[in-house]
Amino acid sequence: MESGVPICNICGEQVGLANNNGEVFVACHECNYPVCKTCIDYEIKEGRNTCLRCATPYDENEQESTNHAIVASHPDTAQDAGVHARTVSFVSTVDSEYHDDTGNPIWKNRVESWKEKKNKKKKNQSKAVVQEAAEVPPEQQMEEKPQLADAAEPLSRIIPVPKSQITPYRIVIIVRLIVLCFFFHYRVTHPVESAYPLWFTSVFCEIWFAFSWVLDQFPKWSPINRETYLDRLSARYEREGEPCQLAPVDFFVSTVDPMKEPPLITANTVLSILAVDYPVEKVSCYVSDDGGSMLTFESLAETSEFARKWVPFCKKFSIEPRAPEFYFTQKFDYLKDKVQPSFVKERRAMKREYEEYKVRVNALVAKAQKTPEDGWTMADGTPWPGNNPRDHPGMIQVFLGHSGVHDIEGNELPRLVYVSREKRPGYQHHKKAGAENALIRVSAVLTNAPYILNLDCDHYVNNSKAIREAMCFLMDPQVGRDVCYVQFPQRFDGIDKSDRYANRNIVFFDVNMKGLDGIQGPVYVGTGTVFNRQALYGYSPSNLPTIHKSSSSFSCCCRRKKPAKEKDLTEVYREAKREDLNSAIFNLREIENYDDHERSLLISQMSFEKTFGMSSVFIESTLMENGGVPDSANPSTLIREAIHVIGCGYEEKTAWGKEIGWIYGSVTEDILTGFKMQCRGWRSIYCMPLRPAFKGSAPINLSDRLHQVLRWALGSVEIFLSRHCPLWYGFGGGRLKWLQRLAYTNTIVYPFTSLPLIAYCILPAVCLLTGKFIIPTLSNVASILFLGLFLSIIVTSVLELRWSGIGIEDWWRNEQFWVIGGVSAHLFAVFQGFLKMLAGIDTNFTVTTKAADDGEFADLYLFKWTTVLIPPTTILIVNLVGVVAGFSDALNKGYEAWGPLFGKVFFSFWVILHLYPFLKGLMGRQNRTPTIVVLWSVLLASVFSLVWVKINPFVSKDDPSAMVQNCIDMDC
């Protein structure tokens, strides 16, 4: 890159020189996309005669080259220059010299002067190499063509759902929508006069359910699947005898409390990262300890020592998964596909080493149970800086990679860095989002990989080739130009076979996310995501279409109202300032060499300091789109600079958490962060390899599961009440597709479904207790409407199961837990969200833990009482009482009462059936329901039935027929 000759974005070779004038070869004079002549010839031969970036025909380039150069160097107005200013993207900074998309001569002249000062010798050497390459005999070039053809193939492809499956699915959706319209027309025009409040409540709830169905259904209109080609990735970027061209990746692992998040689980995640199937020099693992715990620090020190033995063992025998705890405990034939006779012996030795390693880590955990009065002390006798988790300096320790530590076979190991950001009283630290932003800055200073993968501490790498899967999208020049992240589905270990509480969330990951992948990409779900670092910096994709004057700025669309023209000028000014900084940032270390004109360019640096903070090293790294530490950075001061950027006051008066990095303002910062990126015009990709990329652990007992759902729902309510609500945010740029906006609206509206859902679940019991019903006597037309509605619901579900490939049991568990979570966690999230956002009251629902039984799924039967359990318990009791009362009333009234009873009991049983997993959770272990519970239930039901028959309290005392009936019943 430093040679001055750009690299071909197809084959990875240098572009070379043109034959006619000795200058660098330019394939497309419209956008200057760097492609060598050999690749152009191959593309034209295959019938693809247009530019990969701007789609301009190649045969017209020569005719337009002169005119284009004249226009590009003389922009008409400052506004036009800003509108066409290129945003920072996947193109390297050296390539930008030849692009000149801004039409700004300052950029080209400034970079040229910088290169002449810094890289004059390297330029001359590189030109000599290019000239030698141009003299390669034609025979040798012909021999290389087959390899080039393989490398030029796309690295992935889209596999649409077969038309035989998707076409009937879409037809049924439209039919269901039409039937719904006729159904609501009938319901509104046929009120139940004798039970008007019940009828009105039911109609309102049904309309809301239909609205929720539209939000959830239509984003699944065009689901797709994807397939990757790892062999083509290797052929293009890992050629034998040449340096590896795969992009570096920085891994982020976040942990807070080692007592709640065991260090052994975090260590397994780290070990699986260090042993990943990727070049070691391209991998760096950053562990964020947001609690500043010495236990986490010491466990990482032990982990780094064990990694010297574990990493070579994994790579030597290609084992899966590469987290030792899960590898040694899985039940399978570990000799399958193993051909080396030494494998069994080395596996036994490694298992013994791991058991000893576990003993050492568990000893650290046992030691940390009781904190000394004077705090923890390190090995050299100095106090541990993090003794006060709320008031401590920033800490960074490089365990592997930097000090030259090698594995037991003498090979290099990936970098492992411990990071604990500074904490001081009086500062807002923003929990996980703040910790992730600190890791962005630390990694940018130390390694600055162009791609970032973030994982929770309990999500280990289950597929060692997962990073290569993501690179098939991000490093493909035809796909990755506007991809902000690649999202992998979440898969879990340790869940019971029936998945009682829908922990796997199969419907969301295998149905909804595939549907979003066919629009603008899946939502960001917090873990298992490979990011483009430039997208996290708040920049727009390189192929973003020109913003029209009627469009407003993305960053200003929700601020104070301005005329449309003023908003457009704001966008222009913002983009222009970025371009000015691009010109000036290379010379931050050579200010004394600038003339007056050059110094004026540094004015724009002030705007970048307001955006990114006061760190020239970090600012310079943001412009290196292909990664790498800036040449101007002093290696001896990098750690000091890294400590500086994780200071608690670094983000003050900057755009961190507002426009760049993980976005603050919600406990579900993942949804908000992905939403902001896609509003800028980025798209995401959903990658589902055959072997799950990552696996984690999920809370499988009822109380913990409900509190997890409560936290997600609370974050959605916070976004709904913020300025980032998808109902009104991001319309100015027109970069978020409508179906994508519909999906994001669904993610922030679904908690409010809890209110009509609770009302609808109580209605059957009220109808049974009062003898009223929400539906009048059905006519033939009404019967057809009801039948058509139920059939359309069933057929839609069946066809959805067909194209998605999920099982009916997973679908049914999802339906059950939708009701369970809706009447419990979602309801509390709505009230807690309003209290927090409007009144500033932060309500926490405490959980009382009791001892669990021993067994494989002991946590499944662990019962923790919490207030979240009250609403569904109440609904269950009311419906059970209603069923008993209904049957008692039917027995008392005679044969004619059984017909109306059927409809009422049907809806009541619908509620009980959906709440059945919740009922099992209350009872505890299967077949061990306490006898006293059964006896009391039978006794109370019997007593209530007898009292109901004799008293019948819901019948009006003024009704003469009712009085006569009561007299008959009581023999008066």
User: What is d(CA 105, CA 239) in angstroms, rounded to the nearest whole number?
Assistant: 38
Percentages of the chain per state (helix, strand, coil), in multiples of 5: 55, 10, 40
568 is catalytic: no
**DSSP secondary structure of 516-585:** HHTTT-PPP-SSSEEEEHHHHTTPPPTTPPPPPTT---GGGTTSS---HHHHHHHHHHHHHHHHHHHHHG
Q: Give the three-class secondary structure for 287.
A: strand
Token representation of residue 961 = 């027929």
Consecutive H or E run containing 284:
strand 283-289
Among 214, 193, 188, 189, residue whose Cα is nearest residue 203: 188
Q: How much is the CA Rg of the chain, to the nearest whole Å?
A: 32
Cα dihedral: 662, 663, 668, 672 (round 10)? -110
Confirm whether residue 261 is marked as ligand binding: yes
User: What is d(CA 389, CA 379) in angstroms, rounded to the nearest whole number?
Assistant: 20
Token representation of residue 448 = 């600055």
958 is catalytic: no
Contact 661, 536 (CB under 8 A): yes
Alpha helices in 84-195 (DSSP H): 96-99, 105-118, 120-134, 138-151, 163-189
Question: Angle CA(83)–CA(86)–CA(89) in degrees, nearest 5?
Answer: 145
Contact 494, 330 (CB under 8 A): no
Sole residue written with tokens 């669904």: 746
User: What is d(CA 576, CA 574) in angstroms, rounded to the nearest whole number?
Assistant: 5
The residues, ordered by sequence, that sit 6+ positions from 719 with a Cβ below 8 Å of its Cβ are 665, 666, 668, 671, 672, 675, 725, 726, 747, 748
Contact 390, 384 (CB under 8 A): no
Phi, psi (degrees; rounded to nearest 5) at 552: -105, 165
> Residues 458, 499, 670, 889: which is the catalytic one?
670
Q: Is the peptide bond before 372 cis (omega within 30 degrees of 0)?
A: no
User: What is d(CA 175, CA 171) in angstroms, rounded to the nearest whole number?
Assistant: 6
**Which amino acid appears at position 657 of this protein?**
G
Confirm whether residue 456 is marked as ligand binding: yes
Confirm whether residue 432 is marked as ligand binding: yes
Give the single-character DSSP code of 721: T
Q: Give the three-class secondary structure for 483.
A: strand
Burial of 481 (0-12, 13-18, 19+ CB in 10 A): buried
Confirm whether residue 309 is marked as ligand binding: no
Contact 824, 704 (CB under 8 A): no
Token representation of residue 702 = 């009822």
Burial of 605 (0-12, 13-18, 19+ CB in 10 A): middle
Handedness of CA 232, 238, 242, 246 (dihedral sign): positive
Pairing between β-strand 483-487 and β-strand 491-493 as defined by DSSP bridges: unpaired
> Residues 101, 290, 499, 810: which is the catalytic one?
290
Among 46, 25, 45, 43, residue whose Cα is nearest residue 34: 25
Residue 885, number of CB atoms within 10 A of its CB = 23
Phi, psi (degrees; rounded to nearest 5) at 543: -100, 25
Confirm whether residue 336 is marked as ligand binding: no
Pairing between β-strand 483-487 and β-strand 224-228 as defined by DSSP bridges: unpaired
Sole residue written with tokens 């030795």: 349
Q: Give the three-class secondary structure for 47.
A: coil
Given its phi and psi angles, is residue 777 left (phi above 0), alpha (psi -120 to 50 degrees) or beta? Answer: beta
Q: Give the three-class secondary structure for 166.
A: helix
User: What is d(CA 808, CA 217) in angstroms, rounded to the nearest whole number?
Assistant: 18
- Residue 21 β-bridge partners: none
Confirm whether residue 30 is marked as ligand binding: no
Q: Could you tell me which residues are annotated as the binding site? A: 254, 260-261, 290, 431-432, 456
Q: Please list the active-site residues.
A: 290, 670
Q: Could you tell me which residues are annotated as the binding site for UDP-alpha-D-glucose? A: 254, 260-261, 290, 431
Q: Could you tell me which residues are annotated as the binding site for Mn(2+)? A: 432, 456
